[in-house]
Chains A and B, each alone.
Chain A
Amino acid sequence: MSDTTINADATQILGGGDAIIEVDGVDKLFGDFQALTNINMRVGAQEVVVVIGPSGSGKSTLIRCINRLERHDRGRILVDGIELSDDIRNIQEIRRETGMVFQSFNLFPHLTILDNITLAPRQVRNMPKGEAEATAMELLERVKIPEQAQKYPGQLSGGQQQRVAIARSLAMKPKVLLFDEPTSALDPEMIKEVLDTMKDLANEGMTMICVTHEMGFAREVADRVVFMADGQIVEVGTPEHFFDNPQEERTKLFLSQIL
């Protein structure tokens, strides 16, 4: 395995670890529109993969297929050795192992911050209330807003809400975290606090797939950067090679537009 390779092969894991997510030949159609075409990708344990690309390139669809918010039409997806099928128990098992952070936070507005975080552990993992709340407070310490525990989402700033959303996904102790443009709905001054939280997570060894437009974050934290366009993986590489020495014309064009 060469660290300097830059190509269209996203199945080579960098940064060690066994494959925890395997995507083999996945196609996804929305009616006549082909959102994903023959995607092959692997993500290793403790690896941080950043997926970038123009809007409509299928990057969100890809990670939404991994926890079955979208159903893929062809190919195989394995998460921690479990293959995604139409069996609901199978899907539930995979969803327990993967956390997801959304662009629009999607906190539950009728529940307090604490209840937002303890809901899934208590309902899905049957964790006792006291234990769930202790874990939730630990997580809130970790994202640095323990004092907000009894408030409602509507009373928090966007950045705080997104950090709560991260804490909420962590409460299920997932093996993988999926980030779907976590900073795109935030005011500029709040982006940093969320990115810092994500960096901390990466440094602690969390396996992450991030769809993002934050190139600084990609450069600093990613083990691998995957560039997608028109539903296909165009180019893959380490951040240095990807940003400093892109090979494909499509990548160069994209980078010239956003950098």
Chain B
Amino acid sequence: MNNPGTDAAVGGELAQALAADHRPLHSDQTPAEWVKNNLFSSALNSVITVLSAAFAGLVLYFGIQWAVNEEWEIIRSNLRNFMIGQFPKDELWRPWAGGLALVGSVGLGSAGMARNAFDDAIEKGLPTERPTWLGLVRRFWSILAFIVIVLTFTRTILPTLGVLAGLGLFVAGRLIGWSLPVGARRFSPHVILVGLVALSTIIAGSGGLVAIVGGLVAALIVSAAVGDRIDRTAISGKVAALAIPLLGGVIVWFVMSTVDSFGFGWKDWGGLYLTLFVTVAGISTGMPLGILLAIGRRSQLPVIKGFCVLFIEFVRGVPLISLLFFSGFMLPLLFPPSAGIPDGTTRAMIVITLFSAAYIAEIVRGGLQAVPKGQTEAAQAQGLSAGKIQRLIVMPQALRAVIPAMVGQFISLFKDTSLLAIIGVAEFLQIATIANTQQDFLGKGLQPVTYAFVALGYWAFAYTMSKESRRIEVRLGVGTR
């Protein structure tokens, strides 16, 4: 793992970050001059440089030694567990199909959004650049590198083919998404959400609660997609604005409930796939909930305000572990007795969503307080309704102010999912523990190998999230400083 190639990539990344800042590296310097100016400018500097180089060399040497000599068979034979847990072998087409659908829709949707932003910037005469394939690789190199490392552990060609198919779909999606007409590109964000629903429909495939949540999400997506196009002043428009999203929701609910009749539930699901899914679901459901809680906390109505304060302060005041433990006793009270205790994955999803909602609510509240009162007054003086003031004036500014804190919360939520192990969910980290208790590997002291692999997986995604957050900050900051 600690090979020089990775370090070179880090160096390239740094250069890229600096270039993105439009601060040119001293291009008039030759490499020799650069080394002299930056590494050996004084006696003290030279000593520090030599010592650091020696230390880095030692770490690299022992790291490579360790990596080369270590027994990696445990990863090879547990690779599927690491990726998707105890997923039934016959059903493996589900995560693949769901993953491919998601990758394709993300490609399509992200290219559409990128094109919208690009055209918008051109129209406003702001500096902008066409996204390049190389740029995409640079943005997501840590994830791509991790995928490559994973593929080196595979025993058959099939996973590699699957990844290549995914890559092909993504590229095709990007190309199509970029060249779609404006009218179709408006729905780019919804395409991504549809991909997410498709993923959960195909894989989760569990009826009941999941189908209901899926149906609600689908209704929201449809409502957002058609909302602006319907003339609500007419009665028929009002009916359509209600009926169309309802229809979409019912269809998705029906499909998801029917898929359950295949007899496959999602409680066997695990590994990195589960970790990522729980994180994405926790973020995408926790964020709207958190925003509502933040608005509710500022409400004039004592009941709403009281409920929001109580919820936020309770969840924030209690460790996530205890919430997970309690979920086994508390959540069944919310379901009909016939349903029994919900399985670990369902409980985990609910707890993670509520947990992130409470934290996001406090982050958003901080952002809301940062928006000057004059903004609301100016909007009021123009006759905007309270809802529109929140949606169009206050919230965009508040959310922009809290992007770094929000992404920090997402990253810590991503890592917190490792706690799900205590309610019996075989998430990514838990697989490392399980692997070491297998007969073949028990007592061989292979924990460092498995944990190094898991740590690399977590890091690859967390690092990309953190980099993307900085990118969004820079982009949203344009023209407002």
Contacts and interface: CB of A to CB of B under 8 A. Distances in A.
Interface of A: 67-69, 92, 95-96, 98-100, 102, 104, 106-110, 112, 119-120, 123-124, 126, 150-155, 165, 168-169, 172
B373 to A, nearest CB: 9
Counting chain A CB atoms within 10 Å of each CB, the highest count among B372, B378, B393 belongs to B378
A109 B400 CA distance: 11
Given A106-B374, A106-B375, A99 B385 contact: no
Contacts of B384: 119-120, 123-124
B397 A102 contact: no
A176 to B, nearest CB: 12
Interface string B290-305: 0000000000000000
B381 interface: yes
Chain B contact residues, majority secondary structure: helix
Interface residues of B, number: 25
B119 to A, nearest CB: 13
A100 B381 contact: yes
Contacts of A169: 381-382
B124 A99 contact: no
A124 B480 CA distance: 25
Contacts of A92: 383, 385
A26 B384 CA distance: 26
Interface string B84-126: 0000000000000000000000000000000000000001110
B397 A110 contact: yes
Contacts of B12: none
B470 interface: no
Given A95-B383, A110-B397, A123 B377 contact: no
A123 B382 CA distance: 10
Contact of B381 (A67, A104, A154, A155): A67
A99 B381 contact: yes
B380 interface: yes
B251 to A, nearest CB: 32
Contact of A106 (B125, B378, B383): B378
Contacts of A165: 378
Given A67-B380, A100-B378, A154-B480, 19 more contacts: A69-B380, A95-B380, A95-B382, A95-B383, A99-B382, A100-B381, A104-B374, A106-B374, A106-B377, A107-B378, A112-B124, A119-B384, A120-B383, A123-B392, A124-B383, A126-B233, A154-B479, A165-B378, A172-B382
Contacts, number: 74
A178 to B, nearest CB: 8
Contacts of A172: 382-383
Contacts of B479: 151-152, 154-155
Contact of A150 (B123, B375, B383, B481): B123
B396 interface: yes
B396 A102 contact: no
B383 A102 contact: no
Interface string B463-481: 0000000000000000111
A109 B397 contact: yes
A240 to B, nearest CB: 33
Contacts of B377: 69, 100, 102, 106
A69 B381 contact: yes
Contacts of A112: 124
B388 interface: yes
